[in-house]
Amino acid sequence: MTIDLRSPVYVAGHRGLVGSAIWRRLEAAGFSQLIGATSAELDLRDRSATFAFLAAHRPAVVIDAAARVGGILANRDHPTEFLSDNLRIQVNLMDACLEVRTPRLLFLGSSCIYPKYAEQPIRESSLLTGELEPTNDAYAIAKIAGLLQVQAVRRQYGLNWISAMPTNLYGPNDNFDLTSSHVLPALIRRFHDAKESGAEEVVLWGTGTPRREFLHVDDLADACLFLLEHYDDPAPINVGVGTDVTIRELAELVARAVGYTGAIGNDPSKPDGTPRKLLDVSRLQALGWKPAIELEAGVASTYAWYLSQIGAAGWARK
C-alpha cells in the first residue's frame, strides 16, 4: 500500500537512534507532515497527556520508536524501570491510537524477545518457545506484551498494525554513555579515548565470544518504511542483516576504524548475555528488502559522526 506523502505521520521517540533515522528517511521520501515530541514535551508514561496528544494530531501513521533502551548492564541493573517504563509508554501510546482509530501503526520490538537458546538463525516462530536471557528479561517481557497488543488490536478492531523485531542497531544519534550504551557505540568511544590518551589496553566486557548481528540504523529506517508500505500481517517480522560477528571480531574491526593499535583484553566478571543472537531474515528478504550498509563502512561513518559531535569536553548526549 502506498502512503500519501501528505499523511500526518507521528514518529514517537524522534530524537533517538531509531526515531531520528526514521525521521530522516521519511523526510527524504517527501513526507510533509511529520509529527514529533520530545519526552519533555510529551511523556508517554503520562496517559492523559498521551490521549490528548493523539486526539489533537490524529496521525494516519504512528511509528513507536520511543522506549527506555540500554545495553546489557543497564538492562541487568534496572529491570524495574525497563519493565514499567516500556509497558506504560507502549500501552498508553497504543491505547490512545486505538481511541482515535489510527489506521496504521508500526511497533518496534527487539531481537532480545526470543529465547536465550533459540535455534540460530532465529525464526519469528521461536517466540515464546523457551526461557529468556535473564539480563534483559524485563525489557523482553514488555516488548512481547507490545507485540501481543498489536495482534489483539488487529484481531478485535481490524486495524492494520504491525510489529518489527530489529537486531542490534548502531549509527548516528546512538547513546555513547559508557554505563548505559550498547557495545558498538561503547567500543567506538573506548577505542577513541584509548587512542587519544595512549592507553595500552582496552578491556572488553565478558569473554568476547558472544556473537551479535549489527544493522545500521539507516537500513532499519529504510526497512520500516518498506514494511509500512508492503507488510500487513499479525506476526512480527525480523529485521537484520543475516550475518554476525563475535564481540572480539567487532572490537578488532572498531579498533581498525578508529586507529587504535594497543592490546584488547577481556573482563569475564562482566556478563556475556545471550551467546548468539542472529536473526533469520528470510521472510523480509522474500518480500524484497535487504540492507545496503556493510558493517565496516557503517562503523567508519558512525565514527566520523562521533568525531563531529565531540567537543573538547568529550561526549555528552543531547
Ligand X SMILES: NC(=O)C1=CN([C@@H]2O[C@H](COP(=O)(O)OP(=O)(O)OC[C@H]3O[C@@H](n4cnc5c(N)ncnc54)[C@H](OP(=O)(O)O)[C@@H]3O)[C@@H](O)[C@H]2O)C=CC1
Ligand Y SMILES: C[C@H]1O[C@H](OP(=O)(O)OP(=O)(O)OC[C@H]2O[C@@H](n3cnc4c(=O)[nH]c(N)nc43)[C@H](O)[C@@H]2O)[C@@H](O)[C@@H](O)C1=O
User: Is the backbone peptide bond immediately before 121 cis, with ω within 30 degrees of 0?
Assistant: yes
Q: Is 298 annotated as a binding residue?
A: no
205 part of the interface to ligand Y, by CB under 6 A: yes
262 is in an annotated binding site: no
68 binds, among ligand Y, ligand X, none (CB under 5 to 8 A by kind): ligand X
What is the binding site for ligand X (CB under 6 A)? 13, 15-19, 38-39, 42-45, 65-69, 89, 108, 110, 166, 168-169, 175, 182
Q: Which residues of 163-199 are buried (b: 16+ CB within 10 A; e: fewer)?
A: bbbbbbbbbbbbbbbeebbbbbbbbbbbbbbbbeeee
Q: Give every CB contact of residue 218 below 8 A, 6+ residues apart in sequence.
A: 21, 24, 25, 171, 293
Q: Which is nearer to ligand Y, 69 or 162 (CB)?
A: 69
The interface region with ligand Y, picked from 30-38, 64-72, 120-128, 289-297 by CB under 6 A, is 64-72
**DSSP labels, 139-158:** HHHHHHHHHHHHHHHHHHH-
- Give the one entry of ligand X, ligand Y, none that residue 59 binds, where binding means its C-beta sits below a cut-off of 5 to 8 angstroms depending on kind: none
**Residue 230, annotated as binding a ligand:** no
Question: Is 114 an annotated catalytic residue?
Answer: no
Cell of 199: 592507553
| Element holding 201 (H helix, E strand) | strand 201-205
State the Cα angle at 77 between 75 and 78, rounded to 5°: 70
Q: Specify the stretch interacting with ligand Y by CB under 6 A; choose among 124-132, 153-161, 199-207, 224-232.
A: 199-207
Tell me whether residue 141 or residue 152 sits nearer to ligand Y (CB atom).
Answer: 141
DSSP conformational letter for 178? T
Based on CB atoms, which residue is closest to ligand X, 36 or 134? 36
Distance from C-alpha of 60 to C-alpha of 92, rounded to nearest angstrom: 17
216 is in an annotated binding site: no
Nearest-5° angle of CA 65, CA 158, CA 104? 30
Determine, following the binding rule CB under 6 A, whether residue 19 of this chain makes contact with ligand Y: no
CA distance linking residue 246 with residue 284, whole number of Å: 24
Window contacting ligand Y (CB under 6 A); options: 47-55, 157-165, 176-184, 238-246: 176-184
Task: Choose the one of ligand X, ligand Y, none that binds residue 75, judging by a C-beta under 5 to 8 angstroms depending on kind.
Answer: ligand Y
Rule CB under 6 A: say whether 25 interacts with ligand Y: no
Mark 130-169 with x for binding to ligand Y (rule: CB under 6 A) and - for no binding: ------x--x----------------------------x-
Question: Given 139, 231, 260, 306, which residue is catalytic?
Answer: 139
Amino acid at 41: E
Q: Residues 152, 15, 124, 237: what is their CA dihedral angle, to the nearest 10 degrees? A: 80
What is the smallest separation between the CB atom of 251 and ligand Y, expressed in angstroms? 7
Nearer to ligand X, 43 or 249 (CB): 43
* Bridging pattern class, strands 168-170 and 61-64: unpaired
Cell of 97: 491510537
Q: Which residues have a Cβ under 8 Å from the Cβ of 281 and sit 6 or more positions away?
A: 121, 238, 239, 240, 241, 242
> Catalytic amino acids?
139
Q: Which residues are annotated as a binding site for substrate?
A: 190, 205, 212, 272
Chain contacts with ligand Y (rule: CB under 6 A)? 70-72, 75, 110, 112, 136, 139, 168, 181-183, 186, 190, 204-206, 210, 212, 247, 270-274
Could you tell me which residues are annotated as the binding site for NADP(+)?
13-19, 108-111, 143, 166-169, 182
